[in-house]
Amino acid sequence: KRSRADRLLQWGDALRCIGEFDRATEVLDEAVELAKALDRPRTLGFCYTSLSAVEHAIGNYDQAWKLATEASTFITPSEPGRALN
């Protein structure tokens, strides 16, 4: 389950990069729910960051800002070599 949340995050980012914004949002929303269920705050923060990037790409700047602000509450420094918790 842990790696599934990370894979969903990466998949959502890839979908955003190719302009599949609706599908990216669906995948990232699933990643958010899984990260919450697994109590993985940094993964959750990265999910919100990715959702923010989707919203920015489609011109929803207020929502992008809200998601980025939410992400910042979950992303904190970690020891070297640990990108995700």
Q: Long-range contacts: 79-84, Cβ < 8 Å, 24+?
A: 84/6, 84/40, 84/42, 84/43, 84/46
- CB of 50 closer than 8 Å to CB of 67: no
Task: Identify the pLDDT of residue 77.
Answer: 65
Please provide residue 76's backbone torsions phi and psi, each rounded to the nearest 5 degrees: -130, 160
d(CA 54, CA 58): 6
4-58 pLDDT, tens digit per residue, is 999 999 999 999 999 999 999 999 999 999 999 999 999 999 999 999 999 999 9
Take residue 13 and report the two structure tokens written for it: 């980012």
Q: How confident is the model at residue 75 (pLDDT cuts 50, 70, 90)?
A: confident
d(CA 32, CA 8): 9
27-36 pLDDT, tens digit per residue, is 999 999 999 9
Task: Identify the pLDDT of residue 85.
Answer: 46
